[in-house]
Amino acid sequence: MAQEDNPKTPTGRVKRASLSTVAQWVNDAWYGLPADMVRAAFSKCGISTPLPPSGPSDPQGNDSIDCVIVTSDVE
């Protein structure tokens, strides 16, 4: 992450990243995670519920578990 050619302020400090750059870092990190890891994390925290099957089952039993994120208790 650290680069030697970062732009500097007049006092020699490294300039802060723009909001769009930070947003891109977060986006890249989030989409770099495997979907199974995200599902497991939400499930472990207790903020997801399994969805009912919406289509034909995989005959080999490779159905993925889809989750709904519960955002509040006032839904």
Q: What is the pTM of this model?
A: 0.45
pLDDT of residue 75: 44
| Contact of 42 with 69, CB cutoff 8 Å | yes
- Give the residue among 64, 1, 6 at the shortest CA–CA distance from 28: 1
> Which residues in the chain show pLDDT less than 50?
74-75
Please state the domain extents for the chain.
Answer: 16-53+64-75
